[in-house]
Chains A and B, each alone.
Chain A
């Protein structure tokens, strides 16, 4: 059963999509049954996926594994290999959680092509989960690319005014990166195969061979491959200066699309960095860490500053994503436990907080059909419940302690600051910390302009507060924001083992040894 669990989590949404495709075409009126079908499938996926963390063995590496031969001809060695480890576990859960929430958030906001919309959402879910669970480069690439299409349609069909430009830009940007990654995958496959005589696309095998020095790539090759992969991922993240697709895509995408875009898709980039770049090209990772960290830091500050002056709510959140994801990249390239764990945690945080922010923006958009900050003001007067949720999410986004954002950002900062392997680590950390100030600036300023003050715009006068469905969407998010801030061990413990294995080759043995760790078994029952 364990073996099929992951596959069913991955494919269940697709089954839902197919079910929707086949559902009674005749009556146009029966939109509710479509919505409920989609929602139930995504909820079922979420519930099944909960078995993953429950059954997850913190001491183990890859789990819930299915590994069967797929295409073996031509020494291709392509396998259907899916599994989760600490790296992907929570990202899968994040995905399965966000999709039903996104569906609920846009329950009444899709007015055309509802069936196709729901199909796209579910197909997208399968793609996203697939990216995280794939343990074979071929499979990974497959999901990585296939997932583009539903997203493309989500932006292109259900998007705003400039949806075509945004959709095409999104796809082209991604494709440019991912095709380079394809070249990288082929090269890696070939190099690994000729070095070990085991031609395979299996990520775990290759990683392991790198770890055990069965595969030793020379620095030059490593650099080239590193960039082939990194470009794809950094575009997806997106790291400055590859970020300009993001504001457009976010602004034009419908709410549900933005939620998943920000919540999950961006994580695929950082996930890829941790899955491929660090463990497989450790020397190149060191070689380029300064450049990437610099870009990350520039992105943190730049994203924050540009976010500050955006007149459009979604654009603001989009640029804030640039800033936040800069933290994640910085943490990854700190090569420390704290940095990488923090990065991983920050991915989850960003998924929830920014996802929630987009939900919130969507809620006001549904009511007012505008996202311009200047159109709002004083919403606290008419929508107190809304404002409260907005406040919690805002605070999460500016990394207030005891909320989730803080754990991630602080771990990243301290990991970076204390990194023995990243040059100029202290400088990077200090500059990144400036981002903490700036995030307060732009978020609070935005919050003030939207929520506080008198209701000056008469069209805001009659806005209704959140209804039951909308509260149902925001409550779990807000609760997660708090739970993750107060008791992060719940999540962090599961990822530790994986981070250690990523570090195995990345960090020289001397550094590993000197890494003082308090004994976890000391009695805590005083």
Chain B
């Protein structure tokens, strides 16, 4: 591995911070146009610099070179050291490329979407701050820098979810997001500390120039943990892996900590697109991929990741099938897709997971922005029951969203097709999972793919096709949100250019980016999978030797065969899903889904009843009013009362009668004399 210096990295990170600072401090007095320009241009600077840096170092990155940008030593206490320094390798390069690119277009979209909002400056300040945090997360060269970004994006997410701070549901959602993330961070922090304890360092890689030993080097020098339960609690690499993954479940909305993400849709739609779809929520995947050398030494952790990922994917997809709010559908879809990514990581296909992150960023951002466009067009109506037939009002939006729809559904040759296929294939052939489980998980993933196709089709059909339900006054009142505009008197309209242009760009991305990762088998060996080639030096893919019991020795030829057949299967699945959805929902747009699904399996209620309320009640009635007030203060006051009780009773010796005093005196004298002479 070779190390270089790349001072431009700091500028990539700092540019949005400068924007945030300007907007935060003086933005209030600036005009909307200027604010928009500042916000977009700082992100554009980052994006252009990212591209420049990437192009400049592409070859080296492909060879696994690393580029550092050391700024200063942040914390150094005893043997603990954390630097403010940035690291570019192919993994972070991919990340910053798509982050800055997608983010730029979302910023552009938002300049239109947020027009006229009194907190315009505030919004963009937060957005820029988010970019800073996200880039820090990705570019940091140690776990603590990652944590800085990790918490930073959490903060911005909090601020942006609660952007409409006069709305209680937005505030609740924001708080919930932060707190649930904190629960995950709990694991993350413990994981980092355990890593430090074991490895003596929290840096990813060596940096000879600074005399830093990377934690991963230590990990690689260790034997892999066995695949069993006890490894999880042994305090070794597996424990580290599991703890870090707990952090990922919070940030990336996996079971059981996914609950914040659907609520997070309370924020403005560009926020949902940027933070809760394209970038922040994939931080968990990034972290797992970044720590791939840990996970490849911790098969048990990987199994956990795979199962949680698959379970989340299926679970969220079923809920997504039953939601009426257009953004909620997309939110559950995001959770589901994130499950896919973790499934990929869990089966050892980190590259595939990242590839799905990459494609997902485009098509999910597109879908969200499209949804945003629809919402604006519908004057802030989000309930799909009051939409329908919008294709004729919002032509561009409709077209671009169709691209996103096909991409996420895995329609062949759209970007989602490639990444999803890769995951399905790698799951099926996973060297990590014990024998039947790889097939079972593959099956789960396939079913999820089917459901994805169905619910996305439902979304498209309900929104753009069918009757124009917004004209039917009071058609449905079950909308959970206090929508601003009164829906039944509106005419939908197409969005302005600032919003449409990003849709078009992202749609192009959603269609095309998949070609960066064409599997070998499709190009018949002519071009190798470029994406995988690029990312390979940065992640440690699981290899056959990881799980001895597994019959891992499939020949390469056989693999290609399997891959092709699986690809065929998934194409069929996607087409079936699209078809089913199309025909069913065209006919029954308002088909009432099962109550259990519509109410999201009552998980929120479960958490509230078993965790939140007991803690509140216990704290109030037991800890505060009983232990604090009664027992501790009671003891303190009681001691005082006992003292004055003694005082009061001793007082009565003082009867006021001289004769009794003499008696006491004589008695005392006798006692003393007695003690003196008899002792």
Chain A residues close to B by CB (< 8 Å): 169, 172-173, 241, 243-244, 302, 305-306, 308-310, 336-338, 341-342, 378, 380-381, 395, 400-402, 406-407, 410-411, 413-415, 417-418, 426, 429-430, 433-434, 436-437, 440-441, 444-445, 448, 451-454, 486-489, 492, 496, 515-520, 522-524, 526
B152 touches A341 (CB 8 A): no
A436 and B186: CB pair below 8 A? Answer: yes
- A401-B152, A518-B79 known; A302 and B193 CB under 8 Å? no
**16 pairs, CB–CB < 8 Å, chain A vs chain B:** A309-B624, A338-B80, A341-B77, A400-B152, A407-B75, A410-B75, A430-B190, A436-B182, A437-B185, A448-B172, A453-B168, A487-B72, A492-B75, A523-B209, A524-B210, A526-B209
Interface check B130, CB cutoff 8 A: no
- Known A-B contacts A338-B78, A418-B197, A492-B76; A302 and B210 likewise in contact (beta carbons under 8 Å): no
Cα distance A496–B81 in the bound complex, in angstroms? 14
- Whether A436 contacts B189 in the complex (CB less than 8 A), given A411-B80, A418-B196, A526-B68, comes out as yes
Cβ of B465 to closest chain A Cβ, rounded Å: 39
Q: How far is the CB of B197 from chain A (nearest CB, A)?
A: 5
Which residues of chain B come closer than 8 Å to A453, judged between CB atoms? 165-168, 171
Q: Which residue in B183, B200, B616, B627 is a CB contact (below 8 Å) of A516?
A: B200
Identify B186's interface contact among A338, A407, A437, CB under 8 A: A437
Cα separation A244 to B211 with both chains bound (whole Å): 49
Question: Is B211 touching A518 in the complex (CB atoms < 8 A)?
Answer: yes
Contact between chains at B171 and A519 (CB < 8 Å): no
In the complex formed, the residue of B with least CB distance to A516 is B79
Shortest CB distance A523–B (Å): 7
Instruction: Select one of A241, A395, A517 contacting B155, CB under 8 A.
Output: A395
What are the 4 A-B residue pairs with the smallest beta carbon separation, nearest first? A337-B78, A305-B619, A401-B148, A417-B193
Question: B151, A526: Cβ atoms under 8 Å?
Answer: no
Name which residue of chain A comes closest to B5, CB basis.
A526
CB-based contact A402/B152 at 8 Å? yes
- Would you give the shortest CB distance from B482 to chain A, in whole angstroms? 12
Q: Mask for B394-412, Cβ within 8 A of A = 1, else 0?
A: 0000000000000000000
- Which residue of chain B has its CB nearest to the CB of A425? B197
Q: Which of B223-231, B455-463, B628-636 contacts A (4 or more CB under 8 A)?
A: B628-636
Nearest CB of A to B17, in Å: 10
Number of interface residues of B (CB under 8 A): 62
B101 on interface, CB distance cutoff 8 Å: no
Report B196-224 CB contacts with A as 1/0, cut-off 8 Å: 11001000000001111000000000000
Query: Which A residues are in CB contact (< 8 Å) with B633?
Result: 244
B178 touches A434 (CB 8 A): no
Q: Which residue of A lies closest to B168 (CB)?
A: A453
Contact check, B185 vs A489: say whether CB atoms are below 8 A apart.
Answer: no
Do residues B211 and A519 form an inter-chain contact, with CB atoms below 8 A?
yes
Measured between alpha carbons, how far is A305 from B614 in the docked complex, in Å?
11
Q: Which of B596-628 contact A (CB under 8 A)?
A: 615-616, 618-620, 623-624, 627-628
Which of B74, B171, B619, B640 sits near A306, CB closer than 8 Å? B619
A244 in complex: contacting residue of B76, B200, B632, CB < 8 Å:
B632
Decide if B638 is an interface residue (CB 8 Å cutoff): no
B194 adjacent to chain A (CB < 8 Å): yes
Contact with A along B140-156 (1 / 0, CB 8 A): 00001001101110010
B189 near A413: Cβ-Cβ < 8 Å: yes
User: Who on chain A is nearest to B612 by CB?
Assistant: A441
Question: In the complex, what's the smallest C-beta–C-beta distance from A324 to chain B, in angstroms?
Answer: 16
Q: Are the CB atoms of B155 and A440 closer together than 8 Å?
A: no
Chain B residues contacting A520 (CB-CB under 8 Å) are 76
Question: Contacts of B165 on A, CB cut-off 8 Å?
Answer: 380, 451-453
- Give Cα A244 to B182, complex, Å: 28
Residues of B with C-beta under 8 A to A440: 178-179, 182
Assembly CA distance A496 to B79 (angstroms)? 12
Which B residues lie within 8 Å of A426 (CB)? 194, 235
Cα distance, A172 to B620, chains bound together (Å):
27
Q: Are B197's CB and A417's CB within 8 A?
A: yes
Chain B contacts of A415 at CB under 8 A? 77-78, 80
State how many angstroms separate the Cβ of B28 from the closest Cβ of chain A: 8
Q: In whole Å, how far is A216's beta carbon from the nearest beta carbon of chain B? A: 27
The verdict on A444 contacting B78 (CB below 8 Å), with A400-B151, A430-B190 known, is no
Decide yes or no whether B70 CB sits under 8 A from chain A. Answer: yes
Extra A-B contacts (10), CB below 8 Å, given A400-B151, A429-B193, A441-B179:
A306-B628, A309-B619, A337-B77, A401-B152, A413-B193, A453-B166, A518-B79, A520-B76, A522-B210, A523-B209
State whether A400 and B175 are in contact (beta carbons under 8 Å apart), knowing that A306-B623, A524-B73, A526-B209 are contacts in the complex: no
Q: Are A526 and B70 in contact, with the CB atoms below 8 A?
A: yes
Residue of A nearest to B181 (CB): A440
Is there contact, CB below 8 Å, between B166 and A454?
yes
Measured CB to CB, the nearest residue on chain A to B631 is A241
Q: Are A515 and B151 in contact (CB under 8 A)?
A: no
- Whole-angstrom distance between the alpha carbons of A488 and B74 in the complex? 7
Contact A524 B171 (CB under 8 A): no
Interface centre among A380, A401, A444, A445 (most CB of B within 10 A): A401
Q: How far is the CB of B119 from chain A (nearest CB, A)?
A: 10
Beta-carbon contact of B80 and A381 below 8 Å: no
Q: Is B268's beta carbon under 8 Å from chain A?
A: no
Residues on the A chain within 8 Å of B80, using CB: 337-338, 411, 414-415
Asked if residues B210 and A489 are in contact (CB atoms below 8 Å), the reply is no
Given known A305-B619, A444-B179, contact A433–B624 (CB-CB < 8 A): no
Asked whether B151 lies within 8 Å of A448 as measured between CB atoms, the reply is no
A234 shortest CB reach to chain B, Å = 14
Tell me which residues across on chain A come within 8 A of B628, comparing CB atoms: 244, 306
- Are A305 and B623 in contact, with the CB atoms below 8 A? yes
Q: Is the CB of B193 within 8 A of A414?
A: yes
Among residues of B, the one whose C-beta sits closest to the C-beta of A426 is B235
Taking each of A310, A378, A437, A523, which has the highest tally of chain B beta carbons within 10 Å of its own beta carbon? A437
**Chain B hits for A526, CB < 8 A:** 5, 68, 70, 209-210
- Partner of A342 from the list B74, B77, B155 (CB cut-off 8 Å) is B77
CA distance A173 to B627 in the complex (A): 18
CA A64 to CA B258, docked complex, whole Å: 56
| Across-interface contacts of A454 in B (CB, < 8 A) | 166
Closest-CB distance, B32 to chain A (whole angstroms): 18
On whether A410 and B189 interact (CB within 8 A), knowing A402-B152, A516-B79, the answer reads yes
Within 8 A of A (CB), among B37-93: 68, 70, 72-81
- Complex Cα distance, B147 from A378, in Å, reads 31
* Bound-state Cα–Cα, A380 to B118, Å: 13
- A488 with B70, Cβ < 8 A, contacts A410-B189, A413-B193 known: no
